[in-house]
Structure 1
């Protein structure tokens, strides 16, 4: 089968399509015939060798790539009872040492990391859901905000930020969102009660109970948190502070049960899926070059 691999580190040009053996599902695993796999900025970090340099990965001849997948169950391993061949599913691959990973014609994941395909959506739309929605959802969990609390979301027009606005509102939070001025209508459509254009003071509406810093604003976003509040980063970094603010970082993990609930919200029209462009595997360099350039409102998706 064809799979996208990283055999040397660098920019978008190092992602290549290679021929590899079709993986076999082990106990508790499901093999998926991939219909779509979304690209995310973290994939560029993998391509750069970032995770190897952090000593989070062993030195290998090649690395798989990808987090988000949508497709059809092709085979199941021993002990799998929740899925059968022919089921359409989505999933999150949260292990960086899978070779190949989900940007391939076939992918193997634990059954517990999968969820049913959101009804009424295309494969590309379905593939755009897992990583960003679970990251936003788990970030909100970390803040432990009571209903009626105020949440500030930076980067609210992006993948994680947009879901943080929608899910925050769904949990009964008053969401203040910040993004580029041109994105105000989009972000208010997600459910933001208040909007702050990028560059304006993040305390325009006073201090907040919690922040999800999806845009990596750092200290300016931290300053908007009241004493006793919480600050969550999505990239693992934490600004320094001597105030009484909980400094947190979300490290997303696969959660099939919660992803099933999020998929159901999408099917009901209560959670958005956004796709900017779908490209074939053969245009992997072009796809990653566009990802690196940024500015997209929606995911770039690869289709085998």
Structure 2
């Protein structure tokens, strides 16, 4: 089968499409025939060597939508099930940017029925990150929440999920994105020049760090999206960062919200698997709204 890998860290030119053996599922695993797989900033980080793995062949891709085509022992899934999954791991021999991928059975959920595989592939990593970050913040209708990067993939899901719970959300993004951020349910909008602060909690999806921390009230809560990269606590503010985990049950809840029209998936552009390097170059160029998706 074909798979996207890097053999040495670097820019988009380091991305290769190679032929490799089709993986076999073990106990409590399933193999998915990939229909679509999103490209995320973490893939660019892996490609650039941010997470280590020098000298190793590393597979790229975390998100997948496709069809179960083989199951290991003790599995709850059946061949033919249309599914989505998060394949967690920064340094792994094969990722989801391939024709087939093996994942743990408990990382899998049935695919949304209301969108196609390309759109479904944009859900797992970003929506799970947003949901699990909100879990850390414990927002409530009587507490204010600021989401930075509110027009981005993680930030957009966070705004929508929090608003769906009745939390008063303020979204911080570029001024040109105000209408979109408000459409997600934000009751207030800020651009980067605004100096508003005093929020009970901040979800820093834009990875602003200290400037986002400064907007939290004394004794409030800050959560970032890059593990171990959050700023140090100040003024009694608790700081932390979400480390996303594969959770099929939680993913199933997010799928349900897609099918109910609560969450909207966003696709910027699709690329053939063999054009993975071009997709990386587009991602590095910035300004992408929605996710780039690879289609084998």
Normalised by the length of structure 2, the TM-score is: 0.97
Q: Which residue of 1 aligns with 2:47?
A: 47
Give 1:201 deviation, angstroms: 1.4
Give 1:97 deviation, angstroms: 3.4
**Per-residue CA shift, 1:49-99, capped at 9, x if unaligned?**
1111xxxx5x55311111100000001000002x11111000001123332
**Per-residue CA shift, 1:81-126, capped at 9, x if unaligned?**
2x11111000001123332111100000001001110112111100
**Per-residue CA shift, 1:111-152, capped at 9, x if unaligned?**
100111011211110000011101010111001233331110
Whole-Å Cα distance in 2 between the matches of residues 239 and 195 of structure 1? 24
Q: Which residue of 2 aligns with 1:70?
A: 65
Whole-Å Cα distance in 2 between the matches of residues 254 and 194 of structure 1? 32
- Match runs of 1:1-304 below 5 Å: 1-52=1-52, 57=53, 59-81=54-76, 83-203=77-197, 207-236=198-227, 237-304=229-296
Q: 28-37 or 165-174, which moves further after superposition?
A: 165-174
Contact 2:8 2:55 in 1 (8 A): no
3-state SS, counterpart of residue 51 of structure 2? helix
Contact 1:202 1:220 in 2 (8 A): no
Any unmatched runs of 5+ in structure 1? none
Whole-Å Cα distance in 1 between the matches of residues 70 and 55 of structure 2? 27
Contact 1:38 1:69 in 2 (8 A): yes
Give 1:219 deviation, angstroms: 1.7
3-state SS, counterpart of residue 43 of structure 2? helix
Normalised by the length of structure 1, the TM-score is: 0.95
Give 1:161 deviation, angstroms: 0.4
Give 1:240 deviation, angstroms: 3.2
Contact 1:25 1:77 in 2 (8 A): yes
Give 1:300 deviation, angstroms: 0.2
3-state SS, counterpart of residue 51 of structure 1? coil
3-state SS, counterpart of residue 217 of structure 1? coil
Whole-Å Cα distance in 1 between the matches of residues 188 and 206 of structure 2? 17
